[in-house]
Amino acid sequence: MKNADITPNYYAYSLRIDGNQLSDSQKKHFFDCINKIYRGNDKFIYRGDKKDKLQLLYGVSDNHFEGDFPNSMFTLGAKARMFIDSGLPGTNEIGIAEAGNNVFRLIFQMLSKLLHREFPFGPVRMATVGFRAREENVVAFFRNQNNEQVFLDIIERVTPQQQIIIRDYYLALLHHISKSEYYASSFLLSTTSNFSQAYRFAWKGENEDSRNPLILFGWVPNQYEGVLSVPNSRILKRKIDMEAIGLPVYERSFFPNQEEVTLKGGLLPHYFLGYLHHNSEEPNVFEINPALLETDNLWDGRELPIDQSTFHQRIQNTLFGRYFTIDPNSNQYRQDQRL
């Protein structure tokens, strides 16, 4: 991961699985799978992170990083902030399955405060100034306190499924800026479709020979319900016509150049290709999700066959006190406490 490596180049990486280099036949299978993933899904995504932070979250020491870390990551996936710890809910915390009246009152209040705030300097100030200039309808609606009851009345008239869509749409906006009241307890996870952006996040504050930067690679399936990046207005309208029911629509979020793709709950191991990092021996090591080699030539490239039979055992050693599940038939999310 040197400065020149601003696009993914799997041919330049040391491809490994369970810490071992791939054989020639395994390499061929890997690249065949990459081509299937590119063809069969919506987009590739990346997340720049830090090795020391992830080691703490997943309860892995330096001595066991090569073995325990990939086993945990490819079983549990990458999780959003709110799943850390198992204590009492935070002041602005919203459960992944919640959509009651109090939730929407809190959303209105948090958006109102955020859009009223004048940040003193830096990129956050520039982002909020730009957002206010181009998204005037959203800003005017949520800055007017008289609209709180209007907001709640509209929500009460739509179906429970539509309430979830509306909730997620506005929570994504609150999540996209780290200075919002929601960010610290968000059930959303930030990724990007721009590899160089993930690279910058991974290397921020690090020296050039650091072993700390780490980049997660994954993909988003077509028509995946767990994506909350700013949708195309036409796509959103297929689910619910926000403007027709009296709610403002934003076209772009606070940092459009970051090309953020916001995931609901986190990055599931079923769509987790692997991660790029430096180990103690060599740079640019790409550790591959072992489930990829469990596929055959008939695999369609959409979802990996993940064995999560050890999920509850592995999560015990982490800082995650909660987790989420998805009903495959209804796409409804459920939040649970660690056993």
Note the pLDDT tens digit of each residue in 32-86: 999 999 999 999 999 999 999 999 999 998 777 887 899 999 999 999 999 997 6
d(CA 19, CA 323): 27
pLDDT in tens, 234-270: 677 788 899 999 999 998 889 888 888 999 999 999 9
More confident residue, 235 or 174: 174
pLDDT higher than 50, residue 4 = no
278 close to 208: Cβ distance less than 8 angstroms: no
Q: 326 phi and psi, to 5 degrees? A: -125, 130
Please tell me the distance from the alpha carbon of residue 167 to that of residue 160, in angstroms, as a whole number: 10
Q: Are 45 and 193 in contact (CB under 8 A)?
A: yes
What 3-state DSSP class applies to 139?
Answer: helix
- Chain CA centroid to CA 60, Å: 22
Percent of the chain with pLDDT over 70: 95
- The pLDDT of residue 2 is above 60: no
Cβ-Cβ contacts under 8 Å for 176 (sequence gap 6 or more): 190, 253, 254, 255, 260, 262
Tell me which DSSP letter residue 227 carries.
B
Instruction: Indicate the domain borders of the chain.
Output: 1-80+190-226+265-339
Tokens coding 292: 């990829």
Residue 87 has pLDDT above 80, yes or no: no
Quote the pLDDT of residue 86: 62
CB atoms within 10 A of CB 153: 10
Arithmetic mean of pLDDT, 198-226: 92
3-state helix vs strand vs coil in the chain, percent to 5: 40, 15, 40
DSSP letter assigned to residue 177: S
d(CA 63, CA 60): 8
